[in-house]
């Protein structure tokens, strides 16, 4: 089974499975097609995180393929270029970090692939050359982001290339309109023939450096040559008799585990209509995000271990701060004893039991806005995740990985895989993951229904980049959310607001695959907020 946010990507994954490929082969082929069909969300200019359940070794493996800040950009030079701004911009050349996605593709294939590397790129090459019909949901974010980019003064030097590549008719493509990207097909042909290393050395690397320099960025050949991935041990917490897994920082998966661990301190509820559960969920989110703002960063630069933020003592101390009758305005991080030490999601499961949870992103749509025109892709803006506060664990430094929002999810029970899943949407990702997990594991929803139900999104509080919205914040709810729950939340003091825009008020796009260990086979779900589907074989 393959579940992705675009039908052609799901079909590409199915083609790999039909050809005898592994779940990893299928995931990589699907990801390459998504780079063509959702160029505002993902691509070779972005980063990648993944978890892979290997049925042969009966182990869950984690991969961090995120890039680092340019070595030549000092923090002093960055602050001078920002001219007194207190937080990093969302786009522009100062947000450039080394792309890690291609290195991630290569590492995953070397360890778990079965098909030839070159075979994985054929669907993407054909789609890019032939063209495809732009999806309705994808077009909304494409058009919205293009409008924002054209108003970004830091991108004046490179907007001509952006317009030519992603606005070929002088505008974003319309829903259903055919769009081609032969330049990206050229990139994939070179990668297919030469391997993933070709992205970081040679002609492609030179084109990236030129694009960065022309825009005022600092990525160098040395930065690209140093690109590397890390195989990491996933973190874990218990929720309703299941083990929930996430990757450690510099990603934000730990925040979902903290939220779930706090919710686990209360008895389970019968269904999703209990207002008390939703109140505790919102309060747990505030507490976890306060820790996220202070303690999540490149693990080479922090002195608080993720395990300390998940310890039973710490979680119970944080959960005890939740007032069952009142919304909390004070959102401060917890005290931890220091020891001596935009986005696309997809999931795949194969006939042998391997399951993949993969998320890949440019951060905001079209990332930095800097494009590598000869090869048809945009470079990410992950540097905007850095803090500018001196002494903060996530403060910018040359060669450092910024705080990341992308976070694949995975669930096991009794050392068996249960669910590969994830959601997109920046800081909505942990919020959506927790709501979906509760609906599957606690409220009894199937994989599709869990993604269809309306969701809440809390805005406010501190962020890892130094931004801070004090007070209660706002709870945005999608149309159709049960009014009796909303009334009960308002009575507890929560400030509510109806979602007013499908892009700016995005409630996260989810994909999931459940393994049925009793009946055999898989059950898939795909979020109707996106253009995709789950396909079985």
Q: Which pair of structure tokens corresponds to residue 471?
A: 């007070």
Strands 377-378 and 371-372: antiparallel
Q: What is the DSSP letter of 385?
A: G
Select which of 95, 343, 405, 412 is catalytic. 343
Strands 468-477 and 496-498: parallel
Edge-first strand order for the sheet with 235-239 is 235-239, 242-246, 409-413, 416-423, 510-515, 522-526
Tokens 């509760």 correspond to what residue?
438
How far apart are the C-alpha atoms of 40 and 91, rounded to whole Å? 13
Q: What is the DSSP letter of 131?
A: -
Cβ-based neighbours of 44, under 8 Å, separated by 6 or more: 35, 99, 101, 102, 187, 191, 199, 375, 377
Q: Is 343 a catalytic residue?
A: yes
- Taking a C-beta distance cutoff of 8 angstroms, is the pair 434, 526 a contact? no
User: What value, to the nearest 5°, has the Cα angle with vertex 385 and ends 222 and 392?
Assistant: 95
How far apart are the C-alpha atoms of 172 and 483, rounded to whole Å? 37
- Taking a C-beta distance cutoff of 8 angstroms, is the pair 51, 58 a contact? no
How far apart are the C-alpha atoms of 159 and 171, rounded to whole Å? 13
Active site residues: 343
């Amino acid at each position: 089974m393959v579940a992705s946010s675009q039908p052609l990507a799901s079909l590409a994954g199915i083609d790999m499975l039909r050809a005898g490929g592994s779940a990893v082969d299928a995931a990589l082929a699907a990801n390459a097609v998504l780079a063509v069909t959702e160029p505002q969300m993902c691509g070779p200019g972005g980063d990648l995180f993944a978890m892979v359940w290997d049925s042969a070794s009966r182990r869950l493996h984690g991969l961090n393929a995120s890039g680092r800040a340019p070595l030549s950009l000092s923090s002093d030079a960055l602050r001078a270029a920002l001219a007194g701004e207190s937080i990093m911009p969302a786009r522009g050349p100062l947000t450039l970090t080394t792309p890690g996605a291609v290195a991630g593709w290569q590492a995953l294939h070397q360890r778990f692939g079965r098909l030839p590397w070159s075979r994985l790129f054929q669907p993407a090459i054909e789609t890019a050359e032939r063209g495809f019909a732009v999806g309705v949901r994808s077009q909304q974010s494409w058009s919205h982001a293009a409008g924002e980019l054209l108003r970004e003064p830091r991108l004046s030097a490179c907007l001509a290339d952006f317009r030519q590549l992603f606005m070929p008719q002088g505008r974003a493509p319309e829903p259903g309109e055919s769009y081609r990207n032969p330049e990206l097909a050229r990139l994939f042909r070179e990668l297919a023939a030469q391997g993933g290393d070709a992205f970081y050395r040679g002609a492609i690397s030179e084109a990236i450096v030129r694009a960065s320099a022309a825009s005022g960025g600092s990525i160098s050949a040395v930065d690209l040559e140093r690109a590397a991935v890390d195989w990491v041990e996933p973190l874990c917490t218990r929720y309703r008799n299941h083990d929930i897994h996430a990757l450690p920082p510099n990603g934000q998966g730990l925040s979902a585990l903290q939220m779930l661990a706090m919710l686990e301190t209360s008895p389970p509820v019968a269904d999703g209509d209990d207002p008390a559960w939703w109140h505790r969920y919102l309060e747990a989110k505030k507490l976890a995000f306060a820790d996220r703002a202070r303690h999540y960063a490149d693990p080479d630069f922090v002195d608080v271990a993720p395990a300390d933020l998940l310890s039973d003592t710490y979680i119970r101390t944080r959960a005890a701060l939740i007032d069952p009758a009142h919304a909390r305005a004070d959102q401060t991080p917890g005290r931890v004893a220091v020891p001596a030490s935009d986005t696309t999601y997809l999931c795949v499961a194969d006939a042998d039991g391997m399951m993949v949870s993969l998320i890949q992103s440019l951060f905001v749509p079209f990332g930095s806005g800097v494009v590598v025109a000869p090869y048809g892709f945009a470079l990410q803006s992950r540097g905007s995740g850095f803090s500018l506060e001196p002494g903060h664990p996530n403060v910018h430094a040359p060669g450092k990985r910024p705080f990341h929002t992308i976070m694949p999810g995975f669930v096991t029970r009794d050392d068996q895989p249960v669910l590969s899943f994830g959601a997109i949407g920046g800081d909505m990702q942990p919020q959506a993951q927790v709501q979906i997990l509760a609906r599957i594991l606690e409220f009894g929803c199937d994989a599709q229904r869990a993604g269809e139900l309306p969701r809440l999104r809390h805005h406010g509080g501190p962020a890892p980049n130094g931004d801070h919205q004090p007070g209660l914040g706002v709870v945005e709810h999608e149309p159709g959310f049960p009014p009796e729950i909303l009334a009960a939340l308002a009575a507890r003091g929560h400030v509510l607001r109806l979602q007013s825009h499908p892009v700016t008020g995005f409630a996260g796009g989810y994909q999931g695959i459940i393994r049925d260990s009793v009946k055999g086979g898989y059950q898939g779900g795909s979020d109707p907020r996106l253009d995709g589907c789950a396909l079985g074989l």
